[in-house]
Structure 1
Amino acid sequence: MNDNSSRPLRLGTRRSKLAMAQSGQVAQAVQQLTGRPVELVEITTYGDVSRESLAQIGGTGVFVSALRDALLAGEIDFAVHSLKDLPTKQPEDLALAAIPPREDPRDVLVARDGLTFETLPEGSRIGTGSPRRMAQLNAWARELGKEIETVPIRGNIDTRIGFVTKGELDAVVLAAAGLSRIGRSAEVSQFLEPDAVLPAPGQGALAIECAMTNAPLAATLAELDDPYTRVAVTAERSLLAALEAGCSAPVGALADLSPSPDEQIVTEMRLRGVVGTTDGKTLVQLSITGPVPSSSEEAVAMGHELAAAMLDKGAAGLMGERAL
């Protein structure tokens, strides 16, 4: 990077409304930290232009690779990603400089007439592009004793909600954080609690990445890091990695941080994981609880421990996509 402090810092971002909104929030924070202007550099990724399902194109990294290429080529100084889109293996030449405080990690239902999942009528059609969501929604419907149809969809938030407003679908499932970041939380019909639907590993968190060769910028960006969010998502992502599953595999995970009785300090972390067939007929869902990890290594070990227990219960046979 050119050290000329008068030059704007170039932040690489995807072009979607959501990506631009969350990158804009990070740009403001970095501008306050550095006193330097930050300009957004819009980059189109393969995942943005492909119309295939994420499972077909091998979800892992399809929204990330073009941004990383621009970083390594020196075309941008840093990049902002949705953490759940990042492959679990971090490239040696790129630094995951900061993971800011996480937004609400839950999934939400946007349904016609403000219906909840429980009140959707028999045979309702629910749109989602995620095998993870399909598996858990179908399992939940089976528990309730009703039939639903999960319909594969792609597209940005406007497109997905449009399927409901136009009457093509009864509901869609989206990430709470995405709707919050673009100011559309009022359209949520129901927040789906993790007991019913575990989110994607890292959902609701952002990742700020820069080149390893730019140590001064990495050190500055690190001031935006939230250590509790980092250990939580590290545990979730290490579970995904140990299952050898890509980010479009039907795997959900969430690490909850529990405060002490006086709520002054966080003392425990519970890591939950789920793997299931998309028809919801078979789920492996387990959890472990332990002291809050004091390092990334401890968080990784926690994820690996839960993954081993899930594999013992047959999780490997439930994943359509296996990461190589």
Structure 2
Amino acid sequence: MTGTTTTPGTTTVSTTGETRARVVRIGTRASTLARTQSGLVADRLTEVTGLPTELVHIRTHGDVSTEPLAQMGGTGVFVSALRDALLRGDVDLAVHSLKDLPTAPPEGIALAAVPPREDPRDVVVARDGLTLGELPQGATVGTGAPRRVAQIAALGLGVDLVGVRGNVDTRIGKVRSGELDAVVLARAGLARLDRVEEATEVLDPIQVLPAPGQGALAVECRADDDLVATVAGALDDPLTRACVTVERVLLAELEAGCSAPVGALAEVAMGDSGDELWVRAVALSPDGTLSVRRSASGPLEDPEGLGRSLAAEMLAEGAADLIAPET
């Protein structure tokens, strides 16, 4: 009788001495967007390493609850079930939208790769091809993100911001049916679904900064698995990782979760002595009437330091009081 034993690395060795490629099990949420994102990771991993992959669908708390994300706590509601499956050994990798990840590092799990980032900006999908500014006063605009609510309210357009949840089809369907006049979504999701043409406006970050980490994916492994090095070599993009590190360190220093009214966007720009990091950030009161906006630049080699220093400036200006006002 023959059997198999799985090594911590990238091969499966049979008791007959035959060696074959390890099948890498990739944990993913079951939504169309999540499966598409995980499929992109799987395809790239196989292309670079030759390792076969399979997607394993995991249901998360955020998928089964109908509560607004802010009421569920926001941070981690789409993440914990995938991480639990990873630690149990049910899957070898977990793929997340990086903006959903809590900023605290999880025990026993490594952020093995941050692949190249999609366009991080927000978009509007509105009836009749309208832009946000063209919507009439009182028009209903759907978004479940306090960050978007606060920034759009700050524009003073007179639109009615309505909480909305669900996948891309559900949200856009509310516009097509006439239930809403517009919804605001991440452009990256539409791009990965090959549906960018449905956006009627791409929002300028000067007006609406994206969520920290928006547009980027996170690929996690068990910290003691040899796959960490393999996945990092195949998928990690150092420039994207540096940018999202600035944004996430800023978020952590502000002690704000992923559902807080905080926007941040770091980019690589040409400085006086070569490439450097440039970051813009905003913290707002929930109604958008008050805000702290700052920008800064720093060396590409020290994204953590740049995130911490910018957060310190914002905290000195009262950002913490805006994010978590007294009740």
TM-score class normalised by the smaller sequence? over 0.9
* Deviation readout 1:245-294 (Å, 9 max, x if unpaired): 11111110000211369xxx9612211111112222111111112232x1
Counterpart position of 1:278:
286
Q: Distance in 2 between matches of 1:158 and 1:320?
A: 32
Please show how residues 64-213 of structure 1 align to structure 2 within 5 Å. Answer: 64-140=79-155, 142=156, 146-213=157-224
Counterpart position of 1:258:
269
Counterpart position of 2:323:
319
Would you say 1:290 and 2:298 are equivalent positions? yes
AA of the residue aligned to 2:172 = I
Q: Is the 8 A contact 1:33 1:220 kept in 2?
A: no
Shift of 1:33: 2.3
Change (3 A) 1:6 1:289: closer
Q: Distance in 1 between matches of 2:304 and 2:269?
A: 19
Counterpart position of 1:40:
55
**Greater Rg by CA:** 2
Q: What is the DSSP-based 3-state SS (H/G/I as helix, E as strand, rest coil) of the residue aligned with 1:62?
A: coil
Counterpart position of 1:244:
255
Counterpart position of 2:17:
none
Counterpart position of 1:27:
42
Counterpart position of 1:307:
311
AA of the residue aligned to 2:312 = A
* Deviation readout 1:6-34 (Å, 9 max, x if unpaired): 44210000000000001001000111222
Would you say 1:268 and 2:285 are equivalent positions? no
Q: Distance in 1 between matches of 2:186 and 2:324?
A: 22
Q: What is the DSSP-based 3-state SS (H/G/I as helix, E as strand, rest coil) of the residue aligned with 2:132?
A: coil
Q: Distance in 1 between matches of 2:127 and 2:270?
A: 37
Shift of 1:321: 8.8
* Deviation readout 1:77-112 (Å, 9 max, x if unpaired): 111110000000111311101101100000000000
Gaps in structure 1 of 5+ consecutive residues: none
Q: Distance in 2 between matches of 1:209 and 1:9?
A: 13
AA of the residue aligned to 1:76 = V
Q: What is the DSSP-based 3-state SS (H/G/I as helix, E as strand, rest coil) of the residue aligned with 2:295?
A: strand
Gaps in structure 2 of 5+ consecutive residues: 1-5, 13-19
Change (3 A) 1:87 1:321: farther
Counterpart position of 1:217:
227
Aligned residues: 310
Shift of 1:213: 1.1
Q: Distance in 1 between matches of 2:281 and 2:291?
A: 10
Change (3 A) 1:266 1:20: farther
Identity %: 58
Shift of 1:305: 0.8
Report which stretch shifted further, 227-236 or 268-277. 268-277
Q: Which aligned segments of 4 or more residues in structure 1 are displaced greater than 6 angstroms?
A: none
Aligned-residue CA RMSD (Å): 1.6
Q: What is the DSSP-based 3-state SS (H/G/I as helix, E as strand, rest coil) of the residue aligned with 1:118?
A: helix
Shift of 1:174: 0.2
AA of the residue aligned to 1:160 = R
AA of the residue aligned to 1:120 = L
Shift of 1:165: 0.5
Q: Distance in 1 between matches of 2:58 and 2:298?
A: 41
Change (3 A) 1:76 1:266: farther
Q: Distance in 2 between matches of 1:98 and 1:217?
A: 11
AA of the residue aligned to 2:227 = L
Counterpart position of 2:31:
16
Q: Distance in 1 between matches of 2:305 and 2:325?
A: 23
